[in-house]
Structure 1
Amino acid sequence: MAQTLSRSADGRWWLPVLRNRIDWLLLIVDAVVLIGVETFVSTYRHGRPIWLGALMALLILLVLEVAGVYQTRFAVSSLDELPRLAGWSLIASLVLVFLLEPSVEAADIVVMAALTFGALFTVRVVYFGLVRGVRRRRPERRLRTAVLGGGMVAQEIVLSTRERPELGVNVVVAISPDPMLQFLDTGVPTLPDLRRLRAIVEDWDIDAVIVAFGSNPDVDLVDPLRECDSLDCEIYIVPRLFEFTSVTHDMDRLHTIPLIRVRRDALRTWYWKLKRVFDVVVAAVALVLASPVLAVAAMAVYVSEPSAPILFRQKRIGKDGTVFNLLKFRSMRPVPTTTSDADWHPCDEERIGRVGHFIRKTSLDELPQLWNVLRGDMSMVGPRPERPHFVREFTDSVPGYEYRHRVDVGLTGWAAIHGLRGDTSITDRAIFDNYYIENWSVWLDIKIIILTVSAVLRGTGS
């Protein structure tokens, strides 16, 4: 996996072959080779500038990374990669032609795809061979792995990885309250408390967690695994009925045991880092475009009750429990802060005037939160923020509620566009928000924004 500095037992720095989601070393080697190939083709075959060849190589790498070609694996095989490389080499070549030179002939596209595929495949033949050799010869280059479970599957994982060191896995600890005697015979230290998973990962310097079958109900695994979201370790799950499970390109395997990699993209991909850039750009543009609407709404709120403030400020909980002041256009007559902070769903219609009803129905009261997004308090898309009083209450009473705060709260969100706002089920909100986090993608954010705008235009809120 990606290379990350760690300290070995003798105090020397070393670079483990496996660690994170992207194999950066393979990506760098591909970049060097592709820049050479594409520059040669661009300059000597077509007489184009050298920089154009380098740009083409970088665009190919971008397409391949988004396609998951650089996802790290235990089972590294150039032949396994061959069909995907061939297909994505052709797709990348077509993308380049469409972007840079739409008039190119079909024969040139085929030549470009063939050269790209040949270069990538040759790199993998050499690179994967070196990786397997390093794993065999140097135990410190293997992943320090924890196995959840103490049954036959966990035992098979331990024995398989010992017989095949080229997989790059070293099981150093297991977590199971009642391991089988056969598993204890493997000699792997076994700890009983699954709830201490995060502490075990940190104390044992674990690089990967493999969830095998154990006596714990599946529901007991969810919270401990979510607590490891921000840690620098990979999480894999052995699927139920794995004997009937086909290994797809986004899965991995240990010998004959298929593994599902837990995505955790919301915290671990480079394009998640661009989410903040996306937020700033979209919020800034939205503020400019909506400035006439903001001005009219502010004037209407002021005229409706000149003695009250235009903006309503309320403390809300953001990412990792941070407190910030959320902004709204005032839609109700003011009450003491202690009342508004602890009143779940005010139903005093006398406090809401005609202006308040209108800006609530059209969600115009939420527009000032674009400033919260620019400030970094919120994101454009994420779980909706709640007041501290209710966060404490729901954390104690609603399963999974606290895990909504793994990411930035949002102006709109997956739960909100499904009608889970106002006086609706908190349990359902937690389920929908955690679903959003586990399945986050750039397109999911765009989809939520589109659906939010559609709901606002229809007057149904977000």
Structure 2
Amino acid sequence: MIRKNQRFLTQLYILTDFVFIQLAFILAWWLKFESGLIPYEQPLPIEIYAFWSVVYGVISILVGILASFYSPKRRKRFADEVLKIIQVHFTSLVILLSLMFFVKQVHISRYYLAIYICLNLLFIMLYRYFLKRSLKQLRRKGYNKQFVLIIGAGSLGRKFHDNLRLYPELGYEIIGFLDDNQEWDDAEEGRYSPILGTVNQLEAILESKLVDEVVLALPLDAHSRYAKIIACCEKAGVRTLIIPDFFDYLPARPYFDNFAGMPLINVRDIPLDLAGNRLVKRAFDIVFSIAAIIITLPVMLFVVVGIKLTSPGPVIFKQERMGLNRRIFQMYKFRSMKVLPEGTVDTGWTTENDPRRTRFGAFIRKTSIDELPQFFNVLAGHMSVVGPRPERPYFVEQFREEVPKYMVKHHVRPGITGWAQTHGLRGDTSIEERIQHDIFYIENWSMLLDIKIILRTIIHGFVNKNAY
């Protein structure tokens, strides 16, 4: 049975979206035409603006319905919702402008429209965020629950049971398992939900108990039973979810593709494979790097003078690193060490109290100031502001054999800072942990995550106790 509260939430979202769109209209009108903050010519009557605001509200809701914007969001991240909000309202704006042009309504203030759209996005993002937080708190307290039945009490089912209990804010309650062979021992009896019967008793269980979702956690050799189980769930109006027995090989958010008319699971879904996402990230990198270079120019001039006064040799140190698609590039840094004799190959790690460092070099390494020239790498397209840190080819060849999934990091541009670095994984720290964080970043990339990483880098400071 499908829970009525989900339909109520969908209706609430639609109604509240429409209300906030009209509130945005009222505030945008006041700011543009009543506040005196913005110069304006004689506006059209407010009734015309109100009419088009109602039209926009209807358009955005229809676009949202077509884009599955009002589908259940219990399991979705807020970052995904923000992207969907932007997509829906951008599409709605294009439709509105096309419609206004068609009926020759061309005298609506452009400043008003800009304010109106910005307020729409702001209001809807804010109320969605606080509503999502409130619903999570209510679910923690036992309200708005959905009830789950797990078919399969083997290792797969037990792992899903344990994982789901780590997220009480999702509001799921496991009513039990169905399994043909498994029985709980004394230790498992208190740890897991009860086994309610065998798989053949599914129809009776669905009729006698309140079940919202059935999760299939069966081994691959039970594949032949899936059709009957799914048909039984659909007859009862219950959603069916399948955990593949090979889930350990899949990313956190698997992507289903279509190839030669057959559905396929993409083992490594990377958001930055999409051209639109790459374009947005690249535009942000260019703008941010130019701003960073301008802001830090006095610091860079100070470092240039410091290096020249304290150590003979070039100011910029260039080193080969492996980047996007395993391409080699020259990464720039301010030189912090003594110049190596000609012909010497550097294949060692920098250690604490490394005798190769200059006194001034130790300072700029500790404060990460030596990394500033990498903004020029970003402008050249070798790097991104945020991404996995690049490594020397010598060490890449070593780590690719020793660290599982190490080479996945080369599916995206390397960065000046990254998810691993904001968790303290810099310098002499675990390569395995760094790769786990890098893969999380690659699979879960969004502009909001990039901004979060940049803010954490700034707030937590640039001093690194592991930087020698």
Distance 1:114 1:403, change over 3 A: same
Q: Contact 1:90–1:110 at 8 Å: present in 2 too? A: no
Query: Equivalents in 1 of 2:262, 2:30: separation in Å?
Result: 42
Query: Equivalents in 2 of 1:320, 1:338: separation in Å?
Result: 29
Query: Equivalents in 2 of 1:99, 1:233: separation in Å?
Result: 49
Listed one character per residue, the Cα deviations across residues 233-271 of structure 1 (whole Å, up to 9, x for unaligned) are 99889xxxxxxxxxxxxxxxxxxxxxxxx9843333735
Query: Equivalents in 2 of 1:386, 1:409: separation in Å?
Result: 9
Is residue 2:249 matched to residue 1:220? yes
Name 2:55's counterpart in structure 1: 115
Distance 1:233 1:330, change over 3 A: farther
- Output the TM-score relative to the length of structure 1: 0.52
Name 1:391's counterpart in structure 2: 396
After TM superposition, the structure 1 = structure 2 runs for residues 416-427 of structure 1, keeping only pairs within 5 Å, are: 416-427=421-432
* Equivalent residue letter for 1:118: V
Name 1:194's counterpart in structure 2: none
**Structure 1 residue aligned with 2:311, among 305, 314, 330?**
305
Query: Equivalents in 2 of 1:431, 1:383: separation in Å?
Result: 11
Distance 1:337 1:371, change over 3 A: farther
Distance 1:330 1:121, change over 3 A: closer
* Equivalent residue letter for 1:344: W
Name 1:290's counterpart in structure 2: 296
Distance 1:311 1:439, change over 3 A: same
Q: Contact 2:257–2:265 at 8 Å: present in 1 too? A: no
Query: Equivalents in 1 of 2:444, 2:269: separation in Å?
Result: 8
**Structure 1 residue aligned with 2:15, among 62, 86, 91?**
86
| CA deviation after TM superposition for structure 1 residue 299, in Å | 1.6
Is residue 2:377 matched to residue 1:379? no
* Equivalent residue letter for 1:379: S
Q: How many residues of Structure 1 are paired with residues of Structure 2 in the alignment?
A: 293
Q: Contact 2:256–2:265 at 8 Å: present in 1 too? A: no
Query: Equivalents in 2 of 1:126, 1:396: separation in Å?
Result: 47
Listed one character per residue, the Cα deviations across residues 387-414 of structure 1 (whole Å, up to 9, x for unaligned) are 1111122122212221112211101111
- Output the TM-score relative to the length of structure 2: 0.51
SS in 1 for 2:286: helix
RMSD: 4.7
Q: Which has the larger radius of gyration?
A: 2
Distance 1:402 1:127, change over 3 A: closer
Query: Equivalents in 2 of 1:437, 1:113: separation in Å?
Result: 39
Query: Equivalents in 1 of 2:299, 2:221: separation in Å?
Result: 63
| CA deviation after TM superposition for structure 1 residue 304, in Å | 1.5
SS in 2 for 1:351: coil
SS in 2 for 1:389: helix
Which runs of 5 or more residues in structure 2 are unaligned? 1-6, 35-45, 69-177, 179-218, 229-239
Distance 1:127 1:320, change over 3 A: closer
Query: Equivalents in 2 of 1:100, 1:271: separation in Å?
Result: 34
Q: Contact 2:255–2:265 at 8 Å: present in 1 too? A: no
Distance 1:400 1:226, change over 3 A: farther
After TM superposition, the structure 1 = structure 2 runs for residues 307-346 of structure 1, keeping only pairs within 5 Å, are: 308-335=313-340, 341-346=346-351
Query: Equivalents in 2 of 1:357, 1:122: separation in Å?
Result: 59
Which runs of 5 or more residues in structure 1 are unaligned? 1-77, 129-151, 153-175, 186-209, 238-261
| CA deviation after TM superposition for structure 1 residue 435, in Å | 1.4
Listed one character per residue, the Cα deviations across residues 278-323 of structure 1 (whole Å, up to 9, x for unaligned) are 11111111112211211110121122222x2211111001111111
| CA deviation after TM superposition for structure 1 residue 445, in Å | 1.4
Query: Equivalents in 1 of 2:67, 2:443: separation in Å?
Result: 32
SS in 2 for 1:391: helix
Name 1:442's counterpart in structure 2: 447
